[in-house]
Amino acid sequence: MARGFEIVNSGDRYRINTPSVIGQTFDDEAVIVNLMTGNYYNMNKIATEIWNALQIHIDRGTIVTILTRKYHGTIAEIENVVGDLLGKLLAEELIAPTDPAEPMSVDLAPRIENETKMPIEAAVLYKYTDLQELLLLDPIHEVDETGWPNRRLGKGPADDPAKAREKGGS
């Protein structure tokens, strides 16, 4: 158990909770938006590394292994960092469990072998609610099978043939 958040198995695998959750990574920081709640988030460097691993379906145990190669800290400390963040991401509905049999997208181990170890730190998820009203009112929530943006016929002055003729249309 990791400080109040129970993550049952080191083989647990999670996915980003799309299409409700979108995000982008910029250098060492991730920015994430939950389109269902209107909350948006950003993360510190270690949390972003965990988020990036989740995007390519790396399981919890492998994330811990990768971080032990990259950060100074006991396995228990690193497991707590990962477990805490996963618990927070689950609570905010930013991630969801996925099938453990689903293959990982890439093997990160070779990319981190020669990096210098840094001290372990907490994985921080910052939550912002100040744009909630705007994000929930945004028309992206009214997307149908034709996609977005799409002008709905019959909803504006351009759809009135008389008004189109007044503006020089045929």
> Tens digit of pLDDT for each residue in 1-22?
333 334 335 678 899 999 999 9
Helices (H), the chain: 45-55, 60-70, 75-91, 109-112, 132-137, 161-166
Mean pLDDT in the chain? 78
Average the pLDDT over 121-144 and give the result.
Answer: 77
pLDDT at 125 over 70: yes
Q: Which of 40-49, 98-107, 157-166 has the highest mean pLDDT?
A: 40-49
- The percentage of the chain sitting over the pLDDT mark of 90, rounded to a whole number, equals 49
Higher pLDDT, 16 or 145: 16
Provide the terminal-to-terminal Cα distance of the chain, rounded to the nearest Å. Answer: 70
| Weakest mean pLDDT among 2-6, 152-156, 162-166 | 2-6
| 127 token code pair | 């939550």
Beta bridge partners of 128: 40
Chain segment 39-91, per-residue pLDDT in tens? 999 999 999 999 999 998 899 999 999 999 999 999 999 999 999 999 999 99
